[in-house]
Chain A
Amino acid sequence: MSKSGDTSFRQWDADTFPGHRVVLGRDEPLRLDCGTGLTNFTVAYQTYGKLNAAKTNAVMICHALTGDQFVAEPHPITGKAGWWDLMVGPGKPIDTDRYFVICSNVLGGCMGTIGPQEINPETGSPWALNFPVITIADMVRAQVMLLDHLEIERLFAVAGGSIGGMQVLEWAASYPDRVFAAAPIATTVHHSAQNIAFHEVGRQAIMADPDWCGGEYQNEGRNPKRGLSIARMAAHVTYLSELALQSKFGRRLQDREAITYGFEADFQVESYLRHQGSTFVDRFDANSYLYITRAADYFDMAEQHGGSVADAFRDTPVRFCVISFNSDWLYPTAESRVIVNSLNAVAANVSFAEFETSFGHDSFLLNVPEFHRVFRGFLNGAADHYGLPRVGHSGDAL
């Protein structure tokens, strides 16, 4: 693991970092659930494909906790393929020959959108814990402002998995007239006690790191890498499945013939997790991790809609496609069924499919051909209803 004392992960030059940036909230502040407002804040976003003349083919993708706007291109820091490269691109299920894809870094994130590591203009120092606590609804409000900036009246679709799926649900509930189709994937209408518990473990690991410095690590020239990496390790286990871990690692040893009677990474699974943790800190900010996990913990659609999830969707014109994976124990299929039952209760237009995988929660990011085939069909069908012209290959799977 990296030694402490390094400065913040963020080394890029804002002028040369890829993607788009826009300053929003110039005229009207973004009103946050916590009661304060944000003015003149930056949102970083990326787009793929081409917006048609009528501006009807926009698809908003909402990223998960540690995702970002680099959906379908090599990541500027890690060089790895975009996190939804399998899903988004020419001829892929979210076909950029047909759709104009937008993905913005979430509010509180650390890839260019305002977050705790950005400079607070009032103090000239990083916001750190003075950054207001944000919610899923706040994230979506920022996305709505971005849409207004792009002068797009209505999205053809909004899609996302996990915390991205929460944003999708929030879009559909709060802006039903601005979304034609919504695909909440591997997600939930609220965080369960277990979900909150795992997030709390991660936050406590960060805050227990002496380099966290009460959140002021940037001013101190330090970075709580150990804490953030442990948070990532614990969380990563929740993204996999027992079967996936067992088949990938079993009890196999790491580069050794026998156990060492010590606390080095004897087992392959330990080595794997340490690697996951140590590479994560190179691209993610510890305080951002606190803020985004908090937003997910606070998410509770029923609570926000008078005690009933169904009330959030009453008379909704949105076409839904709810998707879950049988090996996902973070947001299991039962959680998706709550969404489906709530939509049924208002006779909404809803499709729902559960896919068999062994990958756990991460299934939505991985190569699950049947999921991709079905999702492509849902989008194509919705696009036909919406009157979007077909392109050469997008109808092939039908």
Chain B
Amino acid sequence: MMTESQRKAIRVDLQLIADMIEPGSRVLDVGCEDGTLLDYLVNFKQVDGRGIELSTEGVNACVSAGLPVIQGDADADLATYPDGAFDYVVLSQTLQAMVAPRTVVEHLVRIGKRAIVSFPNFGHWRARTHLALTGRMPMSDALPYQWYDTPNIHLCTIKDFLVMCRETEITIERSISLNERGNARRINSGPLLANVFGVQAVFVLRR
């Protein structure tokens, strides 16, 4: 069982997502890794939770902890889920690793009554200045990979994401950016600033 100290230990963006989810709801966590968020939601929000994870280690960690997780690939497997099967579908820090992120997001809002998507903001000022001043692909704590071995094949900025939502006619219910200190602010109160100072963003979407 989780202790109170573990409860406080989950990542700030995961906590933000967890706080958005109604207790007792049905949740699908896409790219659930070792099940940290799922475990939190099952234990503290009594959700009926499921997960999809690509890595063997992640799947084995989840299933052996009693979490219902399937080994699968979001790019391929989301199509097998029916419309409106979940109250929330979560995609945290995984969008940028998808082969077809736009299709994936469209599946999220199809499968879930709401989708919660978080991603690293490539428009952050450090990324901008890194590229401008060094002339090399940005690397940071959030994006620690060299260009040739990164799993993050579809990086985007907050503005890019806003544009994609408009193009696909997906409704943004809430949008929050987190700065370097983990402080949250509403993106629509100043999208330009959010796109410069937000390290990552969390969006609540619906069809």
* Contacting pair A345 B50 (CB below 8 A): no
Which residues of the partner chain A approach B63 to less than 8 Å between Cβ atoms? 321, 351, 353, 374, 377-378
B81–A347 contact, CB under 8 A?
Answer: yes
Q: Do residues A374 and B81 form an inter-chain contact, with CB atoms below 8 A?
A: no
Q: Counting CB contacts under 8 A, is A46 at the interface?
A: no
Q: For residue B86, which residues in chain A have a CB less than 8 angstroms away from its CB?
A: 347
Q: Check B82 against A351 for contact (C-beta < 8 Å).
A: no
Q: Tell which of B66-74, B136-144, B194-202 binds the partner.
A: B66-74
Any chain B CB within 8 A of the CB of A376? yes
- Choose from B68, B72, B77, B80 the contact partner of A349 (Cβ within 8 Å): B68
Interface membership of A381, Cβ < 8 A? yes
**Are A319 and B81 neighbours in the complex by a CB distance under 8 Å?**
no
State A340–B26 Cα separation when bound (angstroms).
Answer: 18
- How many chain-A residues does the 8 Å CB contact rule pick out? 29
B60 at the interface (CB under 8 A from A): yes
Number of A-B contacts (CB under 8 A): 71
Residues of A within 8 A of B26 (CB): 347
Check A352/B70 contact, CB under 8 A, given A344-B81, A345-B81, A374-B60: yes
Are B64 and A347 in touch, CB under 8 angstroms? no
Please tell me if A33 contacts chain B, counting CB pairs below 8 Å. Answer: no
B82 near A345: Cβ-Cβ < 8 Å:
yes
Whether, in the assembled complex, A6 has its beta carbon less than 8 Å from a beta carbon of chain B, the answer is no
B17 an interface residue at 8 Å Cβ cutoff? no
The reply to whether B72 and A373 form a contact with Cβ atoms under 8 Å apart is no
B59 at the interface (CB under 8 A from A): yes
Residues 353 to 383 of chain A near chain B (Cβ within 8 Å):
353-354, 356, 370, 373-374, 376-378, 380-382
Q: Chain B interface: which size bin?
A: 20 to 34
A344 to B73, CA, bound (A): 13
Let me know if A374 and B64 touch, CB within 8 A.
Answer: yes
Residue in chain B with minimal CB distance to A372: B64
- Whole-angstrom CA separation of A174 from B159 in the bound complex: 51
The verdict on A193 contacting chain B, using a C-beta distance below 8 Å, is no
Choose from A319, A340, A370, A385 the contact partner of B70 (Cβ within 8 Å). A340
| Contact A350 to B68, CB < 8 A, known contacts A373-B60, A374-B60, A378-B63 | yes
A351, B60: Cβ atoms closer than 8 Å: no
Supposing A344-B80, A344-B81, A345-B81 touch, asked if A353 and B59 sit within 8 A by C-beta, the answer is: yes
The answer to whether B69 touches A351, judged by C-beta atoms less than 8 angstroms apart, is yes
Q: In the complex, A397→B65 CA distance in Å?
A: 9
B81–A381 contact, CB under 8 A?
A: no
In the complex, A345 Cα to B70 Cα: how many Å? 13
Given A345-B82, A370-B60, A373-B60, are A381 and B65 also a contact pair (CB < 8 Å)?
Answer: yes
A193 to B68, CA, bound (A): 32
In Å, the complex CA distance between A319 and B56 comes to 20
Q: Measured between alpha carbons, how far is A347 from B27 in the docked complex, in Å?
A: 11
Chain B CB within 10 A, most for which of A319, A341, A347, A384:
A347
Contact residue among A352, A370, A378 (Cβ-Cβ distance under 8 Å from B72):
A352
**Interface pair B66/A384, CB less than 8 Å apart:** yes
A370 to B64, CA, bound (A): 9
Structural contact, A377 and B81, CB atoms closer than 8 A: no
Inter-chain contact B68/A319, CB cutoff 8 Å: yes
Once the chains are docked, how many angstroms separate the CA of A344 from the CA of B72?
11
Assuming A344-B77, A345-B82, is B67 touching A381 (CB within 8 A)?
A: yes
Are B70 and A344 interface neighbours, CB within 8 A?
Answer: yes
Residues of B within 8 A of A378 (CB): 63-64, 66
Give the distance to chain B from A397, nearest Cβ to Cβ, in Å.
7
Q: Specify which chain A residues have a CB less than 8 angstroms from the CB of B56 in the assembled complex.
A: 353-354, 356
Q: Do residues A341 and B66 form an inter-chain contact, with CB atoms below 8 A?
A: no
- Indicate if B85 sits at the interface (CB-CB under 8 A): yes
Asked if A398 CB lies within 8 Å of chain B CBs, one says: yes
Alpha-carbon distance A136/B112, docked complex (angstroms): 37
* B residues in contact with A370, CB < 8 Å: 60
Q: Within the assembled complex, what's the spacing in Å between the Cα atoms of A381 and B86?
A: 22
Q: Nearest Cβ in chain A — how far from B115, in angstroms?
A: 15
CA distance A373 to B59 in the complex (A): 12
**Complex Cα–Cα for A374 and B62 (A):** 9
Which residues of chain B come closer than 8 Å to A346, judged between CB atoms?
A: 82
Point out the residues of chain B lying under 8 angstroms from A354, CB to CB. Answer: 56, 71
Please tell me which one of the listed residues A319, A356, A397 contacts residue B64 in the complex, with CB atoms under 8 A apart. A397
By a CB distance below 8 angstroms, the chain B residues around A385 are 66
Interface string of B38-77 (1 = CB under 8 A from A): 0000000000101000001001101111111111100001
Tell me, in angstroms, the Cα distance from A370 to B68 when the chains sit together: 17
- Complex A-B, nearest 5 residue pairs according to Cβ-Cβ distance, in ascending order: A381-B66, A377-B64, A347-B85, A352-B70, A341-B80
Known: A354-B56, A370-B60, A381-B66. 14 other contacts (CB 8 A): A322-B70, A345-B80, A345-B81, A346-B82, A347-B81, A347-B86, A351-B68, A354-B71, A373-B60, A373-B64, A374-B60, A376-B64, A378-B64, A397-B64
A-B contacts, 25 listed (Cβ < 8 Å): A321-B63, A340-B80, A344-B80, A345-B81, A345-B82, A346-B82, A347-B81, A349-B50, A350-B70, A351-B62, A351-B67, A352-B59, A352-B69, A352-B70, A352-B71, A352-B72, A373-B60, A374-B60, A374-B64, A376-B64, A377-B64, A377-B65, A398-B64, A398-B65, A398-B66
